[in-house]
Structure 1
């Protein structure tokens, strides 16, 4: 592309303008004017041209007020090089061409053109910079080999082609250095953008993880509380003792839910700190069985709970918890079976949760975020979830979680 455009198809990005961290497209650096560097360059150009005038007094025109004005204008344009690099590169090239056409001595007048070209190339205006510098070189050839007869100083002779080769090499060197800086700067921009995307991706994954944790904790606990509240209301007058038991179950379930919610939210307040309590795992299956019993669901657990990595242990616990919650909420069955197996050949954990149905109102597995959360947990570990009705009218959730991380992952 001739002009490097900003992200999202915006306007060309001037040298010094960078996308802000907040995505607003503004840059605090553009608001500052490069006064110091411009003043230093102007002083150097004036002093160097005065020295060159002394060395070339017999060959070139005297350095008068108009010459100094051209030098100041060419150097002063650099003050806008961060805001309007196209204007600056053409302005400095024009001032230098007029300076040379007037027969004034050679010197650091080319420095302003070099800086203007450098600024334009780095800003992405490559062809514009090449055009301006090429125009200056073509103008110098025209003046030095043809128009010199009608331009001051009088008695001037045509320049040698060796001198033109030096000027051409100087132009190529400026453009090459500017292109190298431009390429490196684009690499920095890409790396910075990739780091920003990676940070946003990590933040999104963390938000999703917290959302899954909160859903699993609250859905399970609120389901138990809802069932027990119904039992307590139904038996409040006829069986106060059973109603008291239901209220006790509600108190315990709500207390546990609050504790787990606080644990999840602590990771938001103090990111990077170790959790205050260990994450739940399959060793807490007896607690799930007890909570399900409080909601009127009898759970039969088969198999031996193995020692699992922390990530797989938490995912397995949440999958079983969500599956039992769905049985309580969506199934008419009051009996569920949990099967835990380890496939040594495949290095995988198999979890199977069955109920006898029938579904009540909705599918026994639920249709909200529960199944989606289970699938996300399994997929994060490279595992799978299969959930659906059985032929005999019940519902089955089958989870396969790898116990070892593959080398290519």
Structure 2
């Protein structure tokens, strides 16, 4: 597992700067170091001889059309140290661009003052100038370029190593600085355009996801919410008009009315979350709680009892200590288990056990035939391990880093065991 801390790229804003990317950026210094150190050492060993119409011998950057020939330059320990020092600081250019630029400028000027400069001794300074320009430190780059333009071409003249100012060196220095700044600006524009295209793609994906959530919310409202409202309304009307209904019928209608009303409240809350999840995240508003948690287990038990299911609930610990996704998914696992008993084994008795510890929540939902009744294996809930009920419960447990097992018990019923962590390591909820 890669434990390398992430660092935000100062140009693109990419926070995925891993160890491999950091190594790649440090590795870019190697060709610059080779060019500056080896190239300058080789260029200093050549000599040029001036002729009547030109020069012979030596590399192109050491030839002079007019004046006397140029002798080889002996680089002492100080000159070599300055060449190496200018390269050594380059790996830190991403974190301290201006400091690295000032150091490379000082080492380059120092080298020009120690010996007669020739060869690619400005390679490290070129990289430092380009890097600082890309980071947005343009004023520092302009000042450093002006200092280099004044000092480097005139070093030999000021220190008496030459009797005249070499105009070709001035032109070469100006061209070098202009090309460096121009190429850096082109790269900066290209990087910014690429970053903008990436931001636009992310925004488009986010908008598509938001549109899909709104579409789902609209479909749920038009179908499920409408049907639940009609069920609630008709149950209420039946209760209002049916004064002479049997007591069991009135109890059943009351349970239908109350259950549909609670389902409507939960559904409307879910629809609100689907519609406003992006604005809530951006505005930093309070977290919505679209479904009830463990504190609502007594209400769940009462509704199941009103539907004719014998349910016993035992809770050890404080349900309020469990919050967030774990709280909601734990309630849904118990709710799904009880619903399965109501659908597939209405004559069974259900025992719900909840043990809440400092780190874990243990849930057990056990159903078994009531005393004096025979077990019917065909009516035990969720005999098929691939049923949607088990899949959904297992996904909810896995989403919070927990586990869930389900299977037949010795009494002829069904047993669901779930163990969930109180603190969710990764916030991920199963819809």
- What TM-score, normalized by structure 2, do the two folds share? 0.47
Q: Which has the higher contact order (CA 8 A, sep 6+)?
A: 1
